[in-house]
Amino acid sequence: MEKQSALAEPEQETVSVKSLPGSDLLVRVRELSNAIARRAFEFFDGRGRAAGHDLEDWFRAESELLHPVHLDLAESDSEFTVHAEVPGFTPKDIEVGVEPRHLTISGKRETREEHTSDKTVYSERRSNQIYRAIDLPAEVDTSKVTATLKNGVLELSMPKAAQTKKVHVKAA
């Protein structure tokens, strides 16, 4: 009988990829900006509305609400490959949007924790959001993009769009 390793490799999961119109991106950015502004105002209000800390409040709110997605972009003759760090996120938490020259990775997850001992109840809720948008150096075929998630790393394979060549017509 063969022994099975206690640390089985996690399965690779598929993440859905959407072709997004530019208007969807603008709506998302606007929603995110509003959420950051609300949180920054809470800091401002909590300090007794003392002026002079606008940027500090904004950056603090941004760092609480938004976590950067670190990624690597590699290019070959036929495709772009992206490896993005999204630890703790599942495929249902992540949304990938691809336009011919633009990639957007966003996600949101919420966790709840509750501990009860005797008469004391401890409850904590956390929400993490990620967002990253990059311009691609060349057009990709959005219908052939694939995305998989394994060990907290999102891998995207984006084939380049077929290049059209101009043919010069010579007079005979």
* Per-position pLDDT tens, the chain of length 172: 444 444 455 567 777 676 656 566 677 778 878 888 888 898 888 888 888 888 888 888 887 777 778 899 999 999 999 999 998 889 988 989 898 899 988 888 877 777 777 777 776 666 678 888 889 999 999 999 999 999 999 999 999 998 766 677 888 7
Enter the pTM of the model. Answer: 0.64
Quick check: is 47 in a domain?
A: yes
CATH number at residue 75: 2.60.40.790
Q: Are 133 and 69 in contact (CB under 8 A)?
A: no
Residue 171 lies in a domain: no
Residue 170 falls within a domain, yes or no?
no
- Per-residue HEC secondary structure of 68-135 comes to ECCEEEEECCCEEEEEEECCCCCHHHEEEEEECCEEEEEEEEEEEEEEEECCEEEEEEEEEEEEEEEE
172 found inside a domain: no
Domain count, the chain: 1
